[in-house]
Amino acid sequence: MTASPTELTMPQDPRPHVVIVGGGFAGIAAMRELADAPVRVTLVDRHVYNMFQPLMYQVATGGLNAGDVTYFLRSLRARQDNAEFRHGLLTNIRPDEKIAEMSDGEDLHYDHLVLANGVNTSYFGTPGAYEYAYSMYSRSQALRIRDELFTRLEEAAANQGPDEIRIVIVGGGATGVEMAGALAELRDQALEGAYPEIVRGNITITLVHRSGELLKPFAPRLRRYAAKVLRKRGVILRLNTGVSEVRRDGVMTADGEFIPASQVIWATGVAAHKEVSNWGMPQTHGGRIQVNDDLSVKGVEGIWAAGDIAAQDDALAQLAQPALQGGKHIARQIVRTLEGKPTEHLKYHDKGTMATIGTNAAVAQLRGGITMVGPVAWAAWVAVHIASLLGNGNRLSTLSHFFVRYLWFMRKRSIPIVGDVRPVRPNGDREPEPWQMQKAE
pLDDT of residue 213: 97
How far is C-alpha 206 from the geometric centre of its chain's CA atoms? 22
User: In this model, does residue 433 exceed pLDDT 50?
Assistant: no
**pTM: predicted TM-score of the whole model, two decimal places:** 0.87
Segment 326-363, tens digit of pLDDT: 999 999 999 999 999 999 999 998 888 999 998 899 99
User: In this model, does residue 411 exceed pLDDT 90?
Assistant: no
pLDDT of residue 410: 47
Segment 191-211, tens digit of pLDDT: 777 888 888 889 999 999 999
> What's the mean per-residue pLDDT of the chain?
87
User: In this model, does residue 435 exceed pLDDT 60?
Assistant: no
Question: Please, are residues 30 and 114 in contact by the beta-carbon 8 Å criterion?
Answer: yes
d(CA 223, CA 403): 27
Q: What percent of the chain has pLDDT over 90?
A: 66
User: In this model, does residue 125 exceed pLDDT 70?
Assistant: yes
End-to-end CA distance of the chain: 36
Mean pLDDT of the 134-152 span: 92
Better pLDDT: 8 or 73: 73
In 3-139 the beta strands, taken as DSSP E runs, fall at 17-21, 40-45, 49-51, 70-72, 83-87, 90-94, 99-102, 107-109, 112-115, 120-121, 133-135
- Using CA atoms of 108, 111, 116, 122 in order, give the dihedral in degrees to the nearest 10: 60
**CA neighbor of 384 nearest in space, from 407, 351, 406:** 351
d(CA 268, CA 214): 12
Confidence of residue 408 (pLDDT cuts 50, 70, 90): low
pLDDT of residue 425: 38
Confidence of residue 430 (pLDDT cuts 50, 70, 90): very low
d(CA 342, CA 346): 13
d(CA 145, CA 267): 12
pLDDT of residue 319: 85
Coil, strand or helix at 413: coil
d(CA 425, CA 427): 5
